[in-house]
Structure 1
Amino acid sequence: MCRRVCYALPPLLLLLLLCAAHQARGRDLPQYLKACSEKDPNVNECALKNGRAAIPYLVKENLTVSYIINYEPFNKGGTDYMKATVVDSRGEVGHLTINLQNLFNGDKFLGENTNKVLNENWKALVEEVGPAMYESDRAIAQNLVDTLFDGVPYRKVVLE
């Protein structure tokens, strides 16, 4: 049985959530992360609510990335685990500030003006590089999800 869960979390939050859970292999989730019941007809809403509640404990950033993750349980060594696939990643940037250092062999005038132009045109920059950025983010999220679910039992993530 395959389930689909949609999350809207900042990518750094996802990274921290996954790393925290990976560090807790075989143990309980951190206090600020709450599990959801798979029998709950509103499991997506529960996951989103609990993910949002954890944000203040982890990050503050002006970027939202939405992930669509398909998952299904599988048995390994008599214990159920979860195989998850990040099928999509899309985002919205509220603002972007760039401060590149040592540009043009340290030419201060060219470096400062380049940063100024990039910062004044951040929306166009995000529009241009956004699709590649989100695909790259999806691949990174997939790697992190694989790492997380490799060692955390299914019932530690999804309650009965």
Structure 2
Amino acid sequence: MCSAMTLLLLLFLFALGLVVPSVNSKQLPPYITPCRKSDPNLNECAKQRGNDAIPFLIRGDKAYKIPSFDPAHISLVDVDQGELKFKLKDMHMTGLNTTQILDAKLDFKNKHFYFKVFIDETKVVSRYEVSGKVASIAIEGEGPAEIISTNITVEYFFDYDLITKKDGKQYFNLDTLKSNLTAHVEKTHYNFGNLFGGNKLLGDNFNKFLNENTHELEDSAGKSNREIINAIVSSVFQGIFKNVSFDEMFLD
């Protein structure tokens, strides 16, 4: 889920027309119509224009260095929760084509942005490594994994300041950027192969345990997962904000 949120947040920032790719031409692709800061219905405009553009962006656009998100490819997600160490490698994710922007609030006066996004379902197929304990039960294994998550709601917001660089343009100040993210998944189905050295009985029983206790597991792992997702999304923002000026991102 962590990498899913990274790709998702990058995707809908492009869709809103708030991020202009760093290419020679500053013209947006024809399927993106940016909103103006002075628009009295700015938030609704951003939401609608974003949803209109998402189907095009899912397919990718090489001219603007936008990768394809169908499927999305993620090399590694690494989770260390003390008693539990967990890695997902070579992830292939489908389902981001169900992305919808539910809400957008762009507060330029108070320098505060908020986004709410919904995804019907994502499916991740990958390799995994796990060792440690889940709900006091020892677990170990390495092999194929399939994770299906349904009804995903993501809320992301950040506060920012602007600085003027040598080119005379204003940019986001990355040193003072403050962000936060919450993610809620209504249901997750896990299937990990080759658990406990290939012991099918133990593996089947543990997969059953995971799928019968998903909410309990998400509650216990929630803080760590939110921190990871937030850190990844923030790194995406920093890569964009470092190279694209504020005035090039937003129309007057």
**Alpha carbons 1:67, 1:86 under 8 Å: kept:** no
Quote the Cα distance in structure 2 between the aligned partners of 1:76 and 1:143.
Answer: 20
Residue 115 (1) aligns with residue 192 (2): no
Kindly tell me the number of residue pairs found equivalent between the two proteins.
Answer: 151
Match among 9, 28, 40 for residue 14 of structure 1: 9
Q: Which runs of 5+ in 1 are unaligned?
A: 1-9
For residues 91-102 of structure 1, the aligned pairs below 5 Å read 91-102=183-194
- Aligned AA (2:170): D
SS at match of 2:181: strand
Quick check: which has more Rg, 1 or 2? 2
Quote the Cα distance in structure 2 between the aligned partners of 1:130 and 1:152.
Answer: 33
**Alpha carbons 1:18, 1:148 under 8 Å: kept:** no
Choose between structure 1 and 2: higher strand proportion.
2
Residue 141 (1) aligns with residue 136 (2): no
Quote the Cα distance in structure 2 between the aligned partners of 1:41 and 1:22.
Answer: 21
Residue 25 (1) aligns with residue 22 (2): yes
Quote the Cα distance in structure 2 between the aligned partners of 1:18 and 1:140.
Answer: 15
- Aligned AA (1:80): Q
**Alpha carbons 2:19, 2:249 under 8 Å: kept:** no
SS at match of 1:143: helix
SS at match of 2:224: helix
Choose between structure 1 and 2: higher helix proportion.
1
For residues 1-160 of structure 1, the aligned pairs below 5 Å read 11=5, 12-17=7-12, 24-26=21-23, 27-56=26-55, 57-58=57-58, 59=96, 60=98, 61=122, 62-78=151-167, 79-83=169-173, 85-160=177-252
Distance change (3 Å), C-alpha of 1:145 and 1:29: farther
Question: Once the two structures are aligned, what percentage of the paired residues are identical?
Answer: 35
TM-score by length of 1: 0.74
SS at match of 2:193: coil
SS at match of 2:160: strand
Quote the Cα distance in structure 2 between the aligned partners of 1:140 and 1:90.
Answer: 13
TM-score by length of 2: 0.50
Q: Which runs of 5+ in 2 are unaligned?
A: 59-95, 99-121, 123-150
State the 1:86 CA deviation: 4.6
